[in-house]
Amino acid sequence: MKPRAPIPASARRAFTLLELLVVIGVIVFVTFLLVPAFGRIIESAQYTAAINTVQAALGNARAQAIRTGRPTAVAFLFDPASERFTLQVLELAGQQSGTLSTFATFPTRATYAQPFRPALGSTPIELPKGTGVYGLAFNLSDDPNSGDYRIDSNTFAWYAGEVCRSGGQRIIPWLFPRNDPRNFTDLPADDQNAWSDTNLPRASVAQAVRHANSFFVQFDADGAVSTSTKAGGQNIANAYIEFTDGPVDANNSGTAPYDNPLAFDPESRGTAGNIPAAFSPNPEVVLRSVYQLAVVDLRALSKGTGIERPWLVRATGSAAPRASNVIADDVQALDISAWIENNAEIIGFNRYTGNAIRKALP
């Protein structure tokens, strides 16, 4: 029996155009289904990474406090331009060793402060984009007539008046870092000179930077979470971030830093021949202590609340300057807080040991 002759190549059946289109269609359809899934996996990984990063920073700060015998803290900052969160590990420079206001005529308890400086060897820690941290305090602001925590008559309230009213009660919602002048003015988010912009009236920029606040978690020398100090009062009286080695005049490398290392001076008013005439970039901010943190998926928060930029929401009664793009609404602020309670990773602290305690999500 003769072997079967091979089929000529010209006689083989090829794919028809319709078959190719069907295969391509199936591939496109499957890809369409998988891309969102991959996106969710990436977002989930970023969120998990943010939670781990926050916990690691807190643990490192607490360990450093115990090792050095000096109080430390972790502050949380937000850049409206990049929409990224930054964590900074700090250490206390000394009890009441700074001055809160360079404009005080007669120094009082309200004008002295406690400067926290970036811890030796630490660098800013950036969270993945789309993730962030809110803070929560359980106490309300002091009596505005007491003088505690005052910078001026408009900033007496805790976190510049970040208090909502609901059913006749005053409530502090979950707080977002407000450490940038672009949270208080109509400066564009991509303005790199927000601390020194000359397009706005000088007084407006000064008012904006004087209201810049953020929150932090502080650890005592024994590692316990600190919500009061020997300086007196609830919270950390007049704490602020002090950048001692800067800033300098970028246009003149030969000049010494013009920042006062013992004063809260975010505007850095200059003198002739020393620094630029305009307000200079010195991003010092007042720090307020919080008792709990919430690590938040900002994309999910926006979807869940319908608020595209939740960091622009402030309480209606806030005493801080209000830009035209800021949403001042008690209801929306409380809606955000309710969403956080039900969906965010919440981190509390054992008051005596400082150990972080994570709240299990429902």
- How does pLDDT run across 118-155, given as a tens digit for each residue? 888 888 899 999 999 999 887 655 544 444 444 555 55
Most confident of 1-5, 99-103, 318-322, 327-331: 327-331
Which amino acid would we find at residue 94?
A: G
Q: What is the average per-residue pLDDT within 72-79? A: 93
Q: Is 74 a residue whose pLDDT tops 80?
A: yes
For the chain, what's the residue count? Answer: 362
Q: What is the average per-residue pLDDT within 181-185? A: 79
Give the CA count within 13 Å in the CB-facing half-sphere of 143: 2
pLDDT digits (tens, 9 = 90+) for 147-157: 444 455 555 56
| Inter-residue contact 291 to 136 (CB < 8 Å) | yes
Q: Is 245 a residue whose pLDDT tops 60?
A: no
Q: What is the average per-residue pLDDT within 9-23? A: 70
| Inter-residue contact 195 to 276 (CB < 8 Å) | no
Phi/psi for 318 (5° steps) reads -60, 140
Residue 123 burial (10 A CB sphere; 0-12, 13-18, 19+): exposed
| The pLDDT of residue 155 | 59
pLDDT digits (tens, 9 = 90+) for 206-233: 677 777 889 999 888 888 887 644 333 3
Domain ranges of the chain: 18-358
Phi/psi for 333 (5° steps) reads -60, -40
| The pLDDT of residue 338 | 94
Instruction: Give the integer Cα–Cα distance in Å for 40 and 174.
Output: 26
**Residues contacting residue 330 through CB under 8 Å, at least 6 positions apart:** 164, 165, 166, 315, 316, 317
Cβ neighbour number for residue 164 with a 10 Å cutoff:
21
| Inter-residue contact 138 to 291 (CB < 8 Å) | yes
Instruction: Give the integer Cα–Cα distance in Å for 110 and 51.
Output: 36
Q: Is 90 a residue whose pLDDT tops 50?
A: yes
Q: Is 309 a residue whose pLDDT tops 60?
A: yes
| The pLDDT of residue 278 | 44
% of the chain with per-residue pLDDT over 70: 61
| The pLDDT of residue 227 | 64
Report the mean per-residue pLDDT for the chain: 75
Cβ neighbour number for residue 163 with a 10 Å cutoff:
22
